[in-house]
Amino acid sequence: MRIDRTLSAVAAILLAGLPAAGAHAQSSDNGSSFGGPAISGVCFLSREAIFANAKVGQAASARLAQLTQQAQSEIDAERKPIDADVQTYRSQAASLPADQRQSREQALAQRMQKVQADQNLRARELEATRAKAMSQIGQYAQSVITAAYQSKKCGLLLDRTVVLGGNTTNDLTPVVIQGLDAKVTTISFNLEQAPANSGGVSGGGQQ
């Protein structure tokens, strides 16, 4: 018996939503060979680079990683005695009557299902936490983006990550990162409760 899905795997998915530091904050090189004149009023922005390079985004990513590790430690502690009992059962199974084997297997399966349910709950709580942190950062960034947009006299703002080629001189990303760093460098948050409509076992967030 084993639990196939681990919080470590879930963490990899969640942390992708808060990109690690080091993502390029400068204009992408994608299609830079196309060249061409800068288009007046057309500006670009990479929200991914903002979240990855702004100090508040890095702090949120580190905090989410910490909460994920705490959740994984809780699940590991819950699973450890069950794993030991499974090993004991396997060593004794051959000598047990069929009815005792069935009874032991059912009891172990129920305990493993409880761990799986708790693990799924933690995964949903971590996802809710990531979403809330991203929303908070987005709120802080919005006024900075608006100010940069106005100061550059933009008439159109495009997502830099979907631009295939051309002149991306009017990239607001570095300016927005600087402005966001001047405004906020960190946010504090704890594990959120899983959404009520997420299904499965419900439970409260951990402080």
Q: Which residue has the tokens 């949903």?
A: 124
Kindly report the average pLDDT of the chain as a whole number: 83
Residue 197, domain member (yes or no) = no
pLDDT confidence of 8, banded at 50, 70, 90? low
In this predicted model, what pLDDT tens digit does every residue of 25-48 receive, in sequence order? 444 444 455 778 889 999 999 999
Taking the C-alpha atoms of residue 199 and residue 205, their distance in angstroms, rounded to an integer, is 16
Residue 164 lies in a domain: yes
Q: Rounded to an integer, what distance in angstroms lies between the CA atom of residue 148 and that of residue 130?
A: 26
The reported pLDDT for the residue numbered 22 is 45
H/E element holding 180?
helix 173-183
Please state the domain count of the chain: 1
Confidence at residue 198, expressed as pLDDT on a 0 to 100 scale: 52
pTM: 0.74
Q: Which residue has the higher pLDDT, 206 or 153?
A: 153
Return d(Cα 34, Cα 30) in angstroms, integer.
9
> For residue 83, how many C-alpha atoms fall within 13 Å in the half-sphere facing its CB?
8
Q: Which two three-digit tokens encode residue 128? A: 């809710």
- Domain of 69, in residue numbers: 7-192
User: pLDDT-derived band of residue 106, with 50, 70 and 90 as boundaries?
Assistant: very high
pLDDT digits (tens, 9 = 90+) for 75-102: 999 999 999 999 999 999 999 999 999 9
| Structure tokens belonging to residue 101 | 């084997």
Q: Name the helix (H) or strand (E) containing 172.
A: none
- pLDDT-based confidence at 197, cuts 50/70/90? low
- How many H helices and E strands in the chain? 5, 2
- Whether 46 and 158 have beta carbons less than 8 Å apart is answered as no
Rounded to whole angstroms, the Cα distance separating 148 from 142 reads 10
156: β partners: 42
Place of tokens 């493993």: 112
Burial class (CB in 10 A: 0-12, 13-18, 19+), 128: middle
SS3 state at 44: strand
- How is residue 89 written in tokens? 């059962």
pLDDT digit string, tens, across residues 47-59: 999 999 999 999 9
Tell me whether residue 49 is in a domain. Answer: yes
**Is residue 199 a part of any domain in this protein?**
no
Query: Is 16 part of a structural domain of the chain?
Result: yes
203 within domain boundaries: no
Residue 200 within any structural domain of the chain: no
Contacts of 34 (CB under 8 A, 6+ apart): 165, 166, 167
For residue 24, tell me if it sits in a domain: yes
